[in-house]
Structures are given as structure tokens and as C-alpha cells.
Amino acid sequence: MTRSARLRRRLVEQLLDEDVLHAPEWIAAFRAVPRHVFLPRFFTPAGGLWAAVDRDDPGWLETVYSRDVLVTQLDDDPDRWELARRTGPVPGTPTSSSSMPSIMAIMLEELRVRDGHRVLEIGTGTGYNAALLSHRCGAGQVSTVDIDPLLVGLARERLAAAGYRPACEVGDGALGFPAGTLFDRVLCTASVSSIPLAWLTQTVPGGLIVTTLNRPIGAGLIRLVAGEDGTGQGHVLARDGRFMPLRAHRLAQADPLPRPSRDDWEQTRLPMSSVIQPRKQFEFFAGLAMPGARPVRDGTDDSVSLVHPDGSWVRHRKRGGADEVAQGGPRALWELVESAYVDWCELGKPDRDRFGVTVTEDRQEFWLDEPGGRTWPLG
């Protein structure tokens, strides 16, 4: 057995231990598909910067088969890796990656693929996920699209090298697949702020769409069932997942926050971690209460603040073991947070999987427990 095969088996054992991989078909796919073919080079974190890693570097293969997300592009610029290789670690914002194998396994199983299904993947990236789909479904049943021509070209070459030939096209993933084929399953490996209606029209009635939401607070996975008339309805999934957004769904950079005075700070019983950390049960509901708000990290002291496009903001700090906040702008965001926490408690502290999603041509909304009751806008 080759070293890469041993490392693939070890990765599968780790995914089994994490309880994210169960189906024999997907276990076989993760054991068979050579991830290293799709990751000849990538970036790794280096003290706030990004270092370039090449296949000839010590530990490259072990890193490829780790459980980590591996960044493959910065700032939509294919030349950043070469620059980092020549000059040392560089700054930048990740714009393409090979996702954590655990979230890939979760999404693939949540897709509920059956033999004979035609599958569309939105966001080709490295091509590794398309290879897993091709191994499970047959390459003739898989189509994949990405807006970046360079990424598609490299993915097509690496897929062929690994023995897979799905249909690979360049295009805006929000518009679906250029050929106009109908699919049984649609899987988006990037996040979206709202569900593109083109996905629903390209999915057979009763087919499934699995994607992640581009919500700075309360993001995660959803699965929709396509209706007869280009509509969809489904649920937020219990198992969480976060992805880079489609390019058209990226958020604008936040403006610098003002510095509060000493008298602006007041104590709160609600820590910021309860609002912004995905593992906290309240986080999803907090996002419903504050659509558009997002966390930003202060580089000077690494504290986390909340900002909103309308100019409202909240700063948070720990002082003497107590949580304190200062806020400003047209709305008191933290008062909204605290009111939402009371509301959430009165509703029985619902977790994310009690929420559903309805998508029509006119509206996209969340609902609690069943359609027709209390709703919140998705976008």
C-alpha cells in the first residue's frame, strides 16, 4: 500500500471517529480519491500571513490528508502563491480553498444521492469534491461549474489525471449550469446570501439542493426540496458548515469603528461569544434578530465587535471578569441582541434544526417549526 493510500485510510478513520461519515459509498469514495492530485500547492497560515507550500516540501502529503481546510488562492489572484514562494509569507484574503474533509463528508451525505442521479456542483474549486461525486455517481452523471476560468482549467486537468471526467464549465454558479440540464441534486460548495432561483428551475421536482448560507451570524447548512413551479422548501440542518461566499455574494469591507469613551461602557450579562460563535445554541437566532450585522475583529487588541451597514456598532470587552459593551450609531444593536435572547428563551431556546426555509419568486424566508407561523427574511 502506498503512503498516500495509508494516509487516505487514516483520514477516513478520523472522519468515522468524528461521526460525519457513515454511508459505505462515501467511505469508499474518500478511500479511493487521491486528494493530493488536486492539491500540488497551497497556502498555510504563518503568523497572520500566508506561506506557500509545494509538493516537494517536507510534510506536504501529511498536510494534504489532514482534517484542515487548505487555502489555494488569495485575493482572486493566481500569482500570489508564486510571490509568497519567492519572497516569503504574504498577506491576503482567501478566495478559494479545499474545504475541511469533515464538512465535505457532511454535505455529501446530506445530499442523499442515489444511483442514477444527475448532480450539479456549484463551485468547482480544486476539483476534489467533483472527484468524490464522480466516484460515487459516475462521471457522466456529474456537472460542475465555477466562475474562475483558471480554476476550472486546472480542475479539469487534475480530474482527468485522477481518472474522472465530469462536465466542467466556466460560468456564474448563481445561474446554474450553462447547458440547461435538469438535475436530481444540486450541491453548492460556496455560501449564498439568498437562494438563486435558477437552481430551483434546474432541479427536478422533488430533487434536493444543499448549500450553505452567507450569513455572518447564524450561517450554516440548509437542504431544500424543489417544487413543481420553481419554488423550494426545506430545513436548516443540525450539522453546521461555513464556506466562502460566491463572488457576487461577498460582503463589502466594514468601515473602521469609532473608539468609545470610558463612560460609554456598560456591563452586560450576555457574552459576545454567545452571539457570534457557531457552537453556541443562540447564535442562529441572534442572526435572525440582526440581519446584516456582522462581527469584525479589532487588530489592535483582537477583540470582536458587531457592525451593521446602517452605521450601528457594538464593541465588547472583558473587564475584571465581567462582560462590557459600548455601542453607537442609529440603532442600539446590543439592546436588540438582549431582547432577542429573551425572545429566544421564551420560545424554548430553539436550535437551528427547528427552523425551515421557504423560497418563492417573491420571497425567501425562515420559519420556526412549520410554515405559516412566525417568519424572518432569509436575505
The tens-digit pLDDT sequence of the chain (379 residues) is 799 999 999 999 999 999 999 999 999 999 999 999 999 999 999 988 999 999 999 999 999 999 999 999 998 898 999 999 999 999 998 888 899 999 999 999 999 999 999 999 999 999 999 999 999 999 799 999 999 999 999 999 999 999 999 999 999 999 999 877 899 999 998 889 899 999 999 999 999 999 998 888 888 899 999 998 899 999 999 987 776 656 555 556 656 667 777 777 898 999 999 998 888 999 999 999 988 888 887 655 557 888 888 889 898 888 888 889 889 889 989 999 999 999 999 999 999 999 999 999 999 999 999 998 899 998 6
The single residue of 96, 97, 98, 99 carrying the catalytic annotation is 99
CATH of domain 262-346: 3.30.310
pTM: 0.91
**What are the grid coordinates assigned to 107, written together?**
454535505
Residues contacting residue 38 through CB under 8 Å, at least 6 positions apart: 98, 126, 127, 128, 131, 155, 158, 162
- Grid cell 479539469 is found at 156
**What are the grid coordinates assigned to 290, written together?**
440582526
Question: Residue 302: what pLDDT?
Answer: 56
Active-site residue, 96 included: no
The Cα 111–Cα 255 span in angstroms is 38
Question: Residue 86: what pLDDT?
Answer: 95
Question: Residue 214: what pLDDT?
Answer: 86
In the sheet with 49-54, reading across from the earlier edge strand, the strands are: 49-54, 41-46, 70-74, 94-98
The Cα 331–Cα 256 span in angstroms is 17
SS3 assignment, position 111: coil
Residue 354: closest CA among 220, 243, 216: 220
Question: Residue 301: what pLDDT?
Answer: 54
- Asked if residues 375 and 367 have their Cβ atoms less than 8 Å apart, the reply is yes
Q: Are strands 232-236 and 266-268 parallel, antiparallel or unpaired?
A: unpaired
Residues contacting residue 153 through CB under 8 Å, at least 6 positions apart: none
Question: Residue 246: what pLDDT?
Answer: 60
Residue 283: closest CA among 352, 346, 236: 352
b (16+ CB within 10 A) / e for 13-48: ebbeeeebbeeeebeebbeebbbbbbbbbbbeeeee
The Cα 327–Cα 332 span in angstroms is 6
Question: Residue 235: what pLDDT?
Answer: 96
C-alpha 111, offset from chain centre: 15
Q: Which amino acid is at 120?
A: L
- Asked if residues 97 and 244 have their Cβ atoms less than 8 Å apart, the reply is yes
Question: Residue 18: what pLDDT?
Answer: 95
Write down the domain spans for the chain.
Answer: 262-346
Question: Residue 93: what pLDDT?
Answer: 87
Cα dihedral 193, 198, 201, 205, rounded to 10, equals -30
SS3 assignment, position 112: coil
Question: Residue 252: what pLDDT?
Answer: 60
